[in-house]
Structure 1
Amino acid sequence: MENIAAKVREAAAYLKDQTDTSPSIGLILGSGLGDLADEIQNAVRVDYESIPYFPVSTVEGHAGRLVIGELQGRQVIAMQGRFHYYEGYSMQEVTFPVRVMKELGAESLIVTNACGGMNPSFQPGDLMVIEDHINQTGTNPLLGPNDEALGPRFPDMSQAYNTELKQTAVRASESLGFSLQKGVYLGISGPTFMTAAELIMLRRLGGDVVGMSTVPEVIVANHAGLEVLGISCITDMAIGEEIEGVSHEEVMDTATKTKPRFISLVKEILSIMPSRG
């Protein structure tokens, strides 16, 4: 995607014509969590296909629209469905919405996902705050010429997930009466689920969970200067020595069962997270 900055401005200008809301928080709603966007008040809903340069989500369980409005007293812009590298889009296309959120005024990004648990102390249905990630996708969304208007050539990723927001997530879960797991998200390209040998390798590399999203979006969010919080829903166990196989339907089933608790958590985080500016 050439001349990204100009395309970001054009997409943002289109969205500004649809709403007077100036969102301060971006939400990327992963598999099974899209219903949270239905709770946004005074909402403007815009199909991806109508937004200049936006891809269109092709994955079951992803609605494919932006929702802009108010949630828990915060002005938000939510992706009801995301894009994945395995769908055939470039990394620049996958992460384009993050840049548009920034252009519209977002200062923070909450990114959610469904993933497989490699840490044997986890179990399906657990929610995990992402402490860090490992990029095993084989590429990076910042490859190629850098536009300083979008961010620095060599962005620091040593604190990719904001410490204060991670602490906020833990407090939110405690107030709701449950504990969050904590761990490292290992991002792969997909779309295949991993072999047993690959899962053993990935766990030994330091991953607690494995998934096919999130990492590119978080890299670009950091490049753009957004503060990031990541929350994972562990939908299945991906322990190489015990692997029995998994299907997308099983992943969606667990995500759906966990959805009420996941939605409550994100809403509580929004209620108590610090305001900027």
Structure 2
Amino acid sequence: MLMVGPMFEKVLKADGFIAALDQSGGSTPKALRLYGISDDSYVEGEKSMFDKVHEMRTRIITSKAFDGDRILGAILFEDTMDRDIEGQSTGHYLWQKRNIVPFLKIDKGLASEASGVQLMKPIPGLDELLKRGKGNGMFGTKMRSVIKKANAEGIKAIVDQQFELAKEIIAAELIPIIEPEVDIHSEEKEECETILKKCILDHLNQLKSSDMVMLKLTLPSQQNFYKECIDHPQCMRVVALSGGYERERANEILSQQKGMIASFSRALTQDMKHGMTEDEFDEKLDQAIASIYKASKAG
């Protein structure tokens, strides 16, 4: 198990939420478009695209609004972890300059849909990635898979895969954030959540008393639906993904969930635009952070 320390205590006990700044290669162009940077602004290829998104993330992370009083942690894409901010690696900058706990997205995307779900693709070189993450100051990891239909076999396969990888991550002295997202547009969303919760609880009950995980779950259809997970001794925190909801709606649902906090991505940055002045940018980011913090604390 990870040794208890300041990061552990902050994630376990402090008020706040986790900022998801982990758009990967597939989702980065959309994130940049929302920010106001068109595809033809990085015609040199993938490297120039990642240069642009790192500029965006650096602007967010270095903003005076992005503070550790309201933000517990930040989830980073691998490329972001490997880059610097003001002469420090991104993870060390977050913790040492912002008092924000860094996490690393480790999955390599989704496999094709089968049995109503999308499992994670294989993660080659996982051991080396976990060692590199640890060396770059990461406290934990995050990995995402997606549930679209209430297929018990498929959902069990998703949770089995997530917890199998979680054990490897725990062995590397990191805390895994397990993210089996339920598609908010699924016509069987509530049934999916019922099956998912049972599978998660079965796995939580099998963990050693020294093992801890976090869960990142879609905002539930029923109020306080994940209370048993939140209260489970092997679960550090349950955080919510916005899943495509606009920020106002995501905050509204989140504020009704006792003990659940946000881990929003697009809902956090949806109002941030490249052409804003520094003051305009800081003001919009502050408003977003304040509203998400309030919704996370309300529960």
* Structure 1 length-normalised TM: 0.30
Higher strand share: 1
Higher helix share: 2
* Structure 2 length-normalised TM: 0.29
Task: Tell which has more relative contact order, 1 or 2 (C-alpha 8 A, sep 6+).
Answer: 1
